[in-house]
Amino acid sequence: GWLALQGCRLWEIHVVLGNEACDLDSAVSALALAYFLAKGIPAASLIFRDEIDLGGLHRAGLLSLTLVDHHVLPGADAALEEAVVEVLDHRPLERDRAAGCQVTAEPVGSCATLVTERIAQGPPGVLDRPTAALLHGTILLDCVNLSPAAGKVTPRDVACVSLLEARFPELPARDAVFEALQAAKFDVSGLTTEQMLRKDLKALSGDELVLAVSAIYVDLETFLRRPGLLQDLDAFCQARGYAGLVAMTISFNEHNEASRQLAFWGGVQPLLSCTLPPKSPRFWGRGGVPATALPPLQVCRALEEASAPSLQLQPLPSPWSCVGAYAQGNALASRKKVLPILRAALGGPGAAGGPEEDVGPPPTPMNSLVEDCPLAQAVPPLCPQDVLERVSRIAAGQPPASPK
């Protein structure tokens, strides 16, 4: 689910492309920057990556590409790198771009901050209230309501939120916007366990096995008490060839303070048994029922003993003897920080710091663009129904409606 927007100028087609996850930051950055560049977005120009033959356009010499909220195209689109004319991203640059490619790469909390700065430097009049509302909400969401304790916000994010509020004093209050978006983002009601595990999934390959690492958006106790959890974990890992799964939960209290917990399940095979002491009992029985209560040592030890950063893990009671559960005292250690620890524990070719594998295009997080929320009415030329219609067409395998 990448969101792409095209604007045609003579024969050239300019596509503004967000990242594969199509999270709120990515979608809003693509929308707002395309709107700024094109001064209007007809519904037919809202397209998803799957609906357009970017390779064909590029081979015909017609494509120019702006990347927002990411800056490295995945392997399948590597040939399009030559078409990239501009990058706006808030991650450290992993790749040098060709001379002539305009690069804005700044470590701010939200890519929407970079888009806001870009629009604010442009001609007056482009920044209208709906665009301001989209950018305002996105920065607040990404920067956890500008809370310094959450470790995301930078002075430039604060400056952009203040700039938007100064120009549009009627924007809804920060707290109300943040709370509505946060609730929508973490609303997993209606998802099956398999969908929760798949929603935000990375896979790490070691020498002989693959470990799944899922971000889970409910507190750990709620997750561990889901009916049929062990069978679902087992089916999920067997179907995908994972030897085990680390679930990293994140939940928020009424003061919007994040708390993180972590669980490890070692699967039905004796994961990493070669590293266990020789007389150690066989840990895992058949069908996901463990022979003993001990979780596999290597992964748990690596997590418990990690020092860069320390996760400050405290064991929690677990309803399942085969599931190791922890409170993570260091709430700032996100999955990005935990992945290298697990990668080192697994060994193998990726242990030196190779990138984790994204497991297919991540499904689109539920977000405000298509849900009923304060921003749903934000962009007049694009109504939420347009987005939903596109998604259902893709889901049904139908070709996109031809542009009017």
Evaluate whether 329 touches 315 at the Cβ level (below 8 Å): no
- Could you tell me which stretch among 69-77, 163-171, 267-275, 377-385 binds Mn ion (CB under 5 A)? 69-77
Q: How far is the CB of 316 from Mn ion (least distance, A)?
A: 31
The answer to the question of residue 234 lying near Mn ion (CB under 5 A) is no
Mask: binding to Mn ion, 16-35, rule CB under 5 A, as x and -?
A: ---------x----------
Residue 128 CB contacts under 8 Å (≥ 6 apart), including other chains: none
Candidate residues 41, 88, 111, 184; the one interacting with Mn ion per rule CB under 5 A = 111
Give, rounded to a whole angstrom, the gap between the first and last alpha carbons of the chain: 23
Give the shortest CB-77-to-Mn ion separation in angstroms: 19
* Token pair 């030559």 in the structure block, residue: 82
Residues 290-329 that bind Mn ion (CB under 5 A): none
Q: By CB under 5 A, which span of 61-69, 146-154, 203-211, 338-346 interacts with Mn ion?
A: 61-69
Find where tokens 């060994």 sit: 347
- Judged by CB under 5 A, the number of residues near Mn ion is 3
Residue nearest to Mn ion (CB): 25
- The tokens describing 194, both together, are 């398999």
Name which of 186 and 221 has its Cβ closer to Mn ion: 186
**In this complex, which beta carbon is closest to Mn ion, that of residue 288 or of residue 365?**
365
- Shorter beta-carbon distance to Mn ion: residue 177 or 245: 177
Residue in 1, 28, 37, 69 binding Mn ion, rule: CB under 5 A: 69
Closest distance to Mn ion from the beta carbon of 311 (Å): 24
CB 266 within 8 A of CB 244: yes
**Least distance in angstroms from the C-beta of 168 to Mn ion:** 22
Beta bridge partners of 245: 212, 265
CB of 68 to Mn ion, least distance (A): 9
DSSP string, 308-337: TT---EEE---SSTTEEEEEES-TT--HHH
Other CB atoms closer than 10 Å to residue 274's CB: what's the count?
A: 9
Question: Within 13 A of 42's CA, how many CA atoms are on the CB side?
Answer: 7
Q: Shortest gap between Cβ of 222 and Mn ion (angstroms)?
A: 27
Closest distance of CB 110 from Mn ion, Å:
6
Q: With CA atoms as reference, report the closest residue to 261 among 307, 299, 343, 317.
A: 317
Q: Which ranges of 1-143 would DSSP assign to H, the alpha helix? A: 24-38, 54-59, 111-121, 129-142
Q: Which residues bind Mn ion (CB under 5 A)?
A: 25, 69, 111
